């Protein structure tokens, strides 16, 4: 399906599939717009057909042009900061970046201006896009790799739903201490807060359901480390770090969960791939994030051969 950006609007030409459907049916079925957002669009007349405001009971005809007002400027408090961004994928609706280590995803206060979101705010401003940068998911400060942002509120609502329905698949690689003997496995253990530590999580029967799949990619007996590929069926805070520690194989460098400190290095965790069916264009999107953490350097050939396909 072809979408055209026209100033603050996006436009789609109606195909045979939506002929004779009402505007309301089209918006619900084609766009899967959440009820609250749908109500807002109705009240604020943010939908037009052939550049005219019409009743939502109007039946669409093939080759009609439907316009949605999506890029309305927003006031936000995210300070712009000139940060070099590693753009992996971009279209009029979303932006996927390769986040470096030692960088927060978003500010924890108005005074913090060196986060990835501050950099995205500046990037949007350069594009004359005056909307708040919204990350669909987040990565820990010391986790690198692919992270997804949206460019306007409707895209945010649609991709948030995609994530909630587990239709966004995120794949990670990690280096863990010790040699994992089993080639593949699933860790299913609920995760809750550790009442003895303000930021740490722990496996807890009363915690939230959490499931991690792992696949051993390389066993380094010389360094007593295992390179593991992981995918998540849930997205709990510190999930991979908690689960691998629970398995008896904490991440290299992850001192919070039992890993050994590596001088000048952080935890060896990288979001290597993100795949999904685009919530707006319906296209299959698969993006890989090259690994720059030096801890993974000895395994780059394995990563390129078996993971960065």
Q: What is the CATH code for 171-270?
A: 3.30.2350.10
Domain boundaries of the chain, sorted by first residue? 3-69, 87-165, 171-270
> How much is the pLDDT for 111?
78
pTM (2 d.p.): 0.92
Q: Cite the active site residues.
A: 140
Q: State whether the Cα torsion 96-117-92-18 is positive or negative.
A: positive
Among the four given CATH numbers 1.10.1050.10, 3.40.50.620, 3.10.290.10, 2.60.120.10, the one describing domain 3-69: 3.10.290.10
In terms of phi and psi (left: phi > 0; alpha: psi -120 to 50; beta: otherwise), the region of 241 is: alpha
- In angstroms, the CA 279 to CA 161 distance is 9
The DSSP-derived string for 96-158 is EEEEPSS--SS-SSTT---SHHHHHHHHHHHTT--S--EESS---TT-EEEEEEESSHHHHHH
Who's near 215: CB < 8 A, 6+ residues apart?
183, 184, 228, 229, 230
> How much is the pLDDT for 34?
86
> How much is the pLDDT for 292?
86
Q: What is the CATH code for 87-165?
A: 3.30.70.580
Report, as ranges of residue numbers, the positions in the chain whose pLDDT lies below 50: none
């Amino acid at each position: 399906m072809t979408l055209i950006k026209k100033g603050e609007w996006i436009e789609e030409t109606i195909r045979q599939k939506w002929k004779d459907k009402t505007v309301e049916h089209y918006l619900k079925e084609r766009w899967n717009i959440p009820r609250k957002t749908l109500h807002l669009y109705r009240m604020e007349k943010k939908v037009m057909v052939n550049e005219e405001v019409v009743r939502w009971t109007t039946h669409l005809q093939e080759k009609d042009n439907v316009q949605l007002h999506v890029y309305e400027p927003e006031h936000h408090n995210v300070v712009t900061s000139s940060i070099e961004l590693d753009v992996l994928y971009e279209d009029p609706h979303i932006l996927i970046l390769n986040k470096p280590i030692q960088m927060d995803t978003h500010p924890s206060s108005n005074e913090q201006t060196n986060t990835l979101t501050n950099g995205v705010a500046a990037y949007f401003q350069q594009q004359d896009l005056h909307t708040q940068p919204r990350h669909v998911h987040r990565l820990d400060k010391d986790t690198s790799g692919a992270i997804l942002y949206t460019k306007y509120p409707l895209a945010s609502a649609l991709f948030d739903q995609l994530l909630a329905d587990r239709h966004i698949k995120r794949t990670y690689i990690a280096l863990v201490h010790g040699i994992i003997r089993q080639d593949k496995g699933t860790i299913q253990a609920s995760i809750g807060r550790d009442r003895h530590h303000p930021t740490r999580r722990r496996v807890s029967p009363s915690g939230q359901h959490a499931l991690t799949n792992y696949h051993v990619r390389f066993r380094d007996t010389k360094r007593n480390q295992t390179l593991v590929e992981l995918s998540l069926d849930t997205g709990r805070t510190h999930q991979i770090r908690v689960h691998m520690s629970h398995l008896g194989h904490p991440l290299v460098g992850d001192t919070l969960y039992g890993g050994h400190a590596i001088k000048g290095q952080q935890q060896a965790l990288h979001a290597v791939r993100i795949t999904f069916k685009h919530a707006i264009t319906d296209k299959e999107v698969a993006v890989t994030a090259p690994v720059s953490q030096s801890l993974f350097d000895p395994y780059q050939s394995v990563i390129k051969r078996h993971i960065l396909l």
